[in-house]
Structure 1
Amino acid sequence: LSTFDSNSYISRLNRNEAGLPPDTFFLKMFAMAQEVTEKSSGAFDITVAPLVNAWGFGFKNRETITEQLIDSLRQYVGMDQLRIEDGCLIKKQAGVMLDGSAIAKGYGVDVAAEYLESLGVKNYLVEIGGEMRSLGLNAKGSSWRVGIDKPDFDQFNGTRELQMIINLSGASLATSGNYRNYYMEDGKRYAHIIDPRSGYPVNHSLLSASIIAPTCMEADAYATACMVLGLDSGKLLVESLPGIEACFIYHGEEEYQVYCSPGFPLDEESGN
């Protein structure tokens, strides 16, 4: 599922190799991607790769951005560009490319967690790059306690401060933010969260979205969808999804503000 592995299914598909039957891993990821795309009204879309590449956040070199370039690339974006036929994934146009980075890491957590469960493990915390899934209790017999970072645009100061601590058990957590992967140009900051609908990096008050969901794949994808939608539309999306909770950190008038949905599992002992 990695675009940085030249032998992965997605990489071969992006090179337009013919007759590639998708494996079980891809089909499961693809089904979830379709669902999240539909429920988020296109805010999440794995066909965003041409735009991500153009802005310099993908697996190809950054291009000189013009309105004409973005308009030309948007024709390749949209889940309607893909269909599964006779056991193969078919692209409507050769220029369609996939980027699973906003869902694949979460799916990897699920695969590891489900393997542990198949072995009869009843207490675990699986974490890959900040995305995690847990079950049962920790070694002290307590709920798993995990931290959510406070947004910090200084990538090189070597420090990390937690915004809050939560209890996580029998659920998954994924966070998406625009404060780590970005570049500055002509005094303007361009973050890696690209809106598939407009073709441009998002520019709003939301700094990070942390999502609790039954699976980490869901949490991962919906975290990205909320980052694209922004604070108000992100709240509406979460409210429409049973079993999904969210914590949004955003720019207030003078400092960071925090919104948590009613069921978000804050750790009361930590003073959140």
Structure 2
Amino acid sequence: MIKQSFKALGTKINLTIFDDVSDYILVETRRLVTNYENRLTVNRDHSEVVSINQNAGIRPVKVSLDTFFLIQQAVQASQLGLGFNVAIGPLVKLWQIGFEGAHKPEKKAIEAVITQINPENIILNKAQCSVFLTKKGMALDLGGIAKGYIADCIKTIWLKNHIKSGIIDLGGNILLVGQHLSDNQAWRIGIQNPSDLRHKVVGYIRTSACAIGTSGIYERRLIVGNRTYHHMFDSQTGFPIENSLASVTIVSKLSIDGEIWSTIAFYQGLEAGKRLVESLPNIEAIFITKQNEVVLTSGLIQRFDSVR
């Protein structure tokens, strides 16, 4: 077994391979993560996404094929109109929740920014491999999808190198590779309790290789007076989403799907979100409310072990 942990993508990366293999595969994996971070980050002076944002309302920007494909996936998810929005960047920057300078903006500032976050104003040119944000002030934010995409890319590399058993953990977004060490035993993955300390769980799911991704309000918060604001925004209001949910965990084949659908299901709320997930093939969900109620979609009822 070999392991590696490091910080990247604004979080902690934990990689575990249970096969007896050389460390070189982890070196290659870390190089891949660094390469994607350098292209996709919005928290540095230079990256492909920063260049796209800086040229909003000015001109299209050519990007690498991988970056174009990821943005294309994000735009398609955004245009569903269900709550995922890759154009949310100006709103994230305005509130700054989770960063130095976090504050509740004035109503006029929020209203102004809402005009800049319409994903329909993103033009993709596949032939030119270019991205154009048509309105000045627009900005992409791939934070809600990039880790899932990168995890899937890591898995592809591992499988090409004949890795038979491993765990890719990008800040709590889990992607299981291959079989559990015990051939006849399912993977057993803990689901975080959003109202408790880190690493406390509400229960475990038993599963074959899959992706497990969570959207929740427990990671980044802003407290103003007696109000707590989280970092998951409603594009219609410009404020954090308000409903009964504390977190949504999606179980899916691809990690990128977990990122997209956990965001959408959280936005939709418990009842509508559950109905939506039940309608999707090969997607399951665990909803946890602010009152610590755990609600499962039908495919997980027999696979979830509560610790309560």
Which TM class, normalised by the smaller chain length? 0.7 to 0.9
Residue type matched to 1:31 in 2? Answer: Q
- Runs (4+) of structure 1 moved beyond 4 Å? 58-64, 265-272
Percent sequence identity over aligned pairs: 25
Residue 181 (structure 2) aligns with: 139
User: Is 1:23 the equivalent of 2:91?
Assistant: no
Aligned length: 264
Q: Residues 58 and 93 from structure 1, CA distance in 2 versus in 1: closer, same or farther, beyond 3 angstroms?
A: farther
Q: Residues 265 and 189 from structure 1, CA distance in 2 versus in 1: closer, same or farther, beyond 3 angstroms?
A: same
| 8 Å CA contact 2:286, 2:294 repeated in 1 | yes
- After superposition, what is the alpha-carbon deviation per residue over 1:119-169, rounded to whole angstroms, capped at 9, x for unaligned? 22232221111111113322233222111111126xxxx653111111232
Q: Residues 167 and 265 from structure 1, CA distance in 2 versus in 1: closer, same or farther, beyond 3 angstroms?
A: farther
> Superposition pairs for residues 100-249 of structure 1, below 5 Å?
100-141=142-183, 142-152=185-195, 160-249=199-288
TM (norm. structure 2) is 0.78
Residue type matched to 2:192 in 1? Answer: D
Residue type matched to 1:258 in 2? Answer: V
| 8 Å CA contact 1:82, 1:92 repeated in 2 | yes
- After superposition, what is the alpha-carbon deviation per residue over 1:184-219, rounded to whole angstroms, capped at 9, x for unaligned? 101100111111222111121100000011210110
**SS of residue matched to 1:256:** coil
CA RMSD between the two structures = 2.3
Structure 2: gaps spanning 5 or more residues = 1-39
- After superposition, what is the alpha-carbon deviation per residue over 1:73-98, rounded to whole angstroms, capped at 9, x for unaligned? 11111211101233311111121101
Structure 1: gaps spanning 5 or more residues = none
Q: Residues 265 and 174 from structure 1, CA distance in 2 versus in 1: closer, same or farther, beyond 3 angstroms?
A: farther
User: Is 1:262 the equivalent of 2:304?
Assistant: no
| 8 Å CA contact 1:43, 1:197 repeated in 2 | no
Q: CA deviation at 1:34?
A: 2.6
Q: Residues 22 and 265 from structure 1, CA distance in 2 versus in 1: closer, same or farther, beyond 3 angstroms?
A: farther
User: Is 1:81 the equivalent of 2:121?
Assistant: yes
Between 121-130 and 96-105, report the one with greater CA deviation.
121-130
TM (norm. structure 1) is 0.88
